[in-house]
Amino acid sequence: MENIFSILTGVNWKQDKAEYKRYKQRIHALPKDYQIVMKEMENILYTYSSDTDSTMVIYEALQDVLELFETNAQEGKDVLDVVGQDVGGFCDDLLHELQIPTWTGQKKAQLNQTIREKLGKGE
């Protein structure tokens, strides 16, 4: 029997939890170097996104990255040959492609707005 919160929100938390557990198991099955990069990418992507609405989009993108990693790991490719030497740049590009609002983007917009207001240049 589903709980009332699941019914009201239309979300099956048990199913989501099981899916997330499978996702984590897939990461754990990767070679160690791929695991390290995947975990660091998770950290940076979730840290730099500026709102909780982005969490699901990031999770879906990370599932795509995981699939890419699984394929390339099976082929014996080095993880840095897959994402490049600049993993941070890879993450920036991913956030940009997903059009995820970031804390730095939000701060830049605030800075520009503050300067325009102080200079009397309007919005």
Q: What is the pLDDT of residues 23-77, one digit of tens each?
A: 999 999 999 999 999 999 999 888 877 666 778 888 899 999 999 999 999 999 9
Query: How far, in Å, CA of 61 to CA of 9, rounded?
Result: 23
- CA-nearest of 52, 48, 51, 24 to 38 is 24
Instruction: Give the chain's length.
Output: 123
Are the C-beta atoms of 79 and 33 separated by less than 8 Å? yes
Give the C-alpha distances (Å, rounded to integers) separating 82 from 11, 37, 45. Answer: 35, 11, 18
pTM: 0.76
Segments making up each domain of the chain, as ranges: 8-118
Which of 11-20, 24-33, 87-96, 101-110 is the most confident on average? 24-33
Q: Predicted confidence band at 108 (pLDDT cuts at 50, 70, 90)?
A: confident
Q: Which CATH class is domain 8-118?
A: mainly alpha
Question: pLDDT grade, residue 105 (50/70/90)?
Answer: confident
How many angstroms separate the CA atoms of 74 and 122, rounded?
A: 56
